[in-house]
């Protein structure tokens, strides 16, 4: 639930904060039966990233945050559009949250990470380095997306799962448990990877495949169907000859 009104007492800001201020435009959002009041921010100086690109100019309106702790004022991090950051979530370094993305709980977005579209990042999830979460994707629990990892479309990553080293999870895929996806691997469509499974190198897991247990899918392996528990699947050891490690 989102309510939008005007003219309320603004959150406190530090004297050191020369980066942005709160405006009186605010919204109330209800998550897990708890209401949070968020205020639109406004840049009070030009915000320029390390490459020299202007993120926001002084006077530009940003997105909505609940309190100063949500957006670091020492760095170039920024929240824009109608994005919302609240609860104890933090955005810092050169990270950006924009469009209609939502970050809350104890989530952290930092490094050069991006969260956009209608994506949601919450609980204790971490998005860092040059990673990107967008579309309608959700990353939550203790999941981590790092090192150019991407989660998009309707994909969900949760539990203690890790997506990193240019891996991409998209479509309606779900990765959870302690699963790891890395090394340019792709998990898509309706695939699920969970347990202690690993998908890495140039491997592809898609269709309705379910990879779990301590299964490893790697090399140029391509798995589009079946349930695979405790197998080792590679391009040299394809699914019709897959062996248990």
Q: What string of DSSP letters covers 163-232? A: E-TT-EE-TT-EE-TT-EE-TT-EE-TT-EE-TT-EE-TT-EE-TT-EEETT-EE-TT-EE-SSEEES-E
Where b means 16+ CB within 10 Å and e means fewer, 150-163 reads bbbbebbbbbebbb
Q: Which residue has the higher pLDDT, 157 or 1?
A: 157
Strand partners, 5: 26
- CB contact at 8 A, 85 and 75: no
The tens digit of pLDDT for each residue in 61-72 reads 999 999 999 999
pLDDT confidence tier of residue 193, bands split at 50, 70 and 90: very high
- CB contact at 8 A, 162 and 175: no
Mean pLDDT, residues 187-211 taken together: 97
Mean pLDDT, residues 176-199 taken together: 98
Global pTM reads 0.93
CB atoms near residue 93 (< 10 Å): 18
How distant, in Å, are the alpha carbons of 25, 40, 51, 193, 199 from that of 54?
24, 20, 9, 39, 37
Mean pLDDT, residues 142-152 taken together: 98
Tell me phi and psi for residue 85, to 5 degrees.
-130, 125
Question: What are the structure tokens assigned to 94, written together?
Answer: 């050169």
Instruction: Give the pLDDT score at 2.
Output: 46
Residue 98 CA, chain-centre distance (Å), reads: 12
Lowest mean pLDDT among 64-68, 196-200, 202-206, 227-231: 227-231
The tens digit of pLDDT for each residue in 227-244 reads 999 999 997 665 655 555
Q: Which residue has the higher pLDDT, 33 or 6?
A: 33
């Amino acid at each position: 639930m989102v309510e939008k009104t005007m003219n309320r007492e603004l959150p406190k800001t530090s004297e050191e904060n020369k980066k942005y201020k709160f405006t009186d435009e605010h919204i109330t959002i209800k998550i897990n039966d708890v209401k949070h009041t968020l205020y639109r921010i406004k840049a009070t100086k030009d915000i320029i990233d390390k490459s020299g690109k202007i993120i926001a100019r002084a006077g530009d309106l940003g997105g909505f945050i609940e309190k100063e702790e949500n957006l670091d004022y020492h760095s170039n991090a920024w929240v824009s559009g109608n994005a919302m950051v609240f609860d104890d979530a933090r955005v810092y370094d050169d990270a950006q949250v924009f469009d209609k993305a939502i970050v809350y709980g104890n989530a952290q977005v930092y490094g050069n990470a991006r969260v956009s579209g209608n994506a949601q990042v919450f609980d204790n999830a971490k998005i860092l380095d040059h990673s990107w979460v967008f579309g309608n994707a959700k990353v939550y629990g203790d999941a981590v997306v790092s090192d150019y990892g991407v989660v998009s479309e309707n994909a969900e990553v949760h539990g203690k799962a890790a997506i990193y080293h240019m891996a991409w999870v998209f479509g309606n895929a779900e990765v959870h448990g302690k699963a790891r996806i890395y090394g340019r691997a792709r998990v898509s469509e309706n695939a699920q990877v969970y347990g202690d499974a690993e998908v890495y190198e140039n491997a592809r897991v898609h269709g309705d495949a379910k990879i779990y247990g301590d299964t490893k899918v790697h090399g140029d392996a391509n798995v589009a169907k079946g349930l695979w528990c405790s197998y080792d699947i590679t391009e040299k050891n394809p699914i019709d000859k897959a062996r248990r490690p």
